[in-house]
Amino acid sequence: MRPSSFLSLTTLVAALLTVSPNNQAHAQAQVCNGYAELCTKPYNQVTYATTHNAYAFSPPGALAANQDNDIPTQLKDGIRAFMLDAYAAASPSDIQLCHGSCQLLDGGPLSKTLGQFKTFLDANPNEVVTILWENAGNLPPSRFQTVYQAAGLANYLHTQQAGSTNWPTLAEMISSGKRLVNFVDDGYSASVPWLMNEYSFIFETPWQIPKGSAYPCTIDRPAGGQQQSMYVLNHFISGQINTGGQSIDVPQRGAADQTNGPDLVSHVNECVSTFKQNPAFLAIDFYEKGSLLQTVAQLNGVTYVGKGPTNPKTPSHGATVTSSSKAAMAAAAGAIAGALLLA
C-alpha cells in the first residue's frame, strides 16, 4: 500500500480521482467520519485520531491522568479511536477501567463508558468508532461479551476475518450498521469473534518514550512482529516520580503543546518514511493540545473543518504533587509490586 504524501495535496487528489461516476454523487452526498472523501476509503486506509488511556481523565489534574476531557467530549471533538485498559470489577457482569492499578487511577465501570459510546453512535449514524483494548486484567472474552450486550451494542459490532486486509469502506460499514470496531491485545478467542486479535491486523511503535528521548519508528508489539496493513503510532512521553520505593511513569501535560505539535508532525513524517504507509491510529495524551486533529486530516488527504478541540476545565499547567497525591502514588506503587506503569 502506497503512503499518502504528508503535508501535501496528493492524497486528496488521489481520493477524488478514485471515485467512479456511478458512486460519485452518493459519495459527495454522504459524509463519513466528518468527510465525504473518506466514504470510499477502506477502514484500514484511514487515519484515526486516538486517545491513549482515553478513560484516564479524572480526577482533574491527577498525576496519572492522560487526558483532560471525558469520553463524550472526546467523541464530540473528533476522536474516533480509544485506548482502554480492562481490569476485573467487583461485579462479575462488568469491567473496571484502571490505569496500572485501580488504586492509582480508577476510570469507573465499563458499563457506563459503553453507554456513552452507544449514545454517540445512536445519534451519529455516519461515524465509525474503534476501541483498542489492553486486557491488563487477563479477563476472558466472555466478560467483554456480557458487558457489551448489556450496553445494547451488539448490532454495532464489526467482525473481520483474522489477517484479512480486505476491509469494507467506511460507507459500507455505515450502510451495514457495523460501525464499532474492537481489538484486544491479549486473550483473543474465536468464541467472541468481534473482539479481534489486535496483532492479526496491527503492529505498534514503542510506547515507552521518556521525556527528552527520540521518537522511535520501530515495531515494538507484537515482539518480533512484521508489518501489517495498519499500525498504531504511539506518541506520548512520560517523566518519572520515585515514591514508595518505586519508580512511576507520569504523563507530561506541561509539555503537550510541543509534544502534540511540532514533535508530532516530525514523528509522523519519520514513521511514514520508515514504514512506507500512514499510521491508522495516531495515539496521544492531552489531545486538545497541539495539532492532532489537523495532522490526522492532513494524513487523510482532507482539509480540517472542525471547530477545534474543547478546552478542558482543568488548569493547563502541569499537575502539582501534593501530599495526598504522593500517598496515592505510594499506595499504588505497592499494589503494582515494583512494576512500571502499564501503557
Interval 91-101: pLDDT, tens: 999 999 998 88
With a cut of 50, say whether residue 9 has pLDDT above it.
no
Interval 74-85: pLDDT, tens: 999 999 999 999
Lowest mean per-residue pLDDT among 112-126, 244-258, 260-274? 244-258
CATH class of 10-307+315-336: alpha beta
pLDDT at 191: 97
pLDDT at 324: 41
Per cent of the chain over pLDDT 70 is 83
pLDDT band at 63 (very low <50, low <70, confident <90, very high): confident
Q: Can you tell me the mean pLDDT for 124-146? A: 98
List the grid coordinates of 266.
516530525
Show Cβ contacts of residue 327 under 8 Å, excluding neighbours closer than 6 positions.
Answer: none
Per cent of the chain over pLDDT 90 is 73
Q: Does 144 or 314 have the greater pLDDT score?
A: 144
pLDDT band at 332 (very low <50, low <70, confident <90, very high): very low
pLDDT at 138: 97
pLDDT at 6: 52
Give 113-120 contacts, CB < 8 A, sequence gap 24+: 113/55, 113/71, 113/84, 114/147, 114/148, 114/151, 114/153, 115/151, 116/71, 116/72, 116/75, 117/71, 117/75, 117/151, 117/153, 117/180, 118/151, 118/152, 118/153, 118/156, 119/72, 120/72, 120/75
Q: Are strands 101-109 and 129-134 parallel, antiparallel or unpaired?
A: unpaired
pLDDT at 313: 76
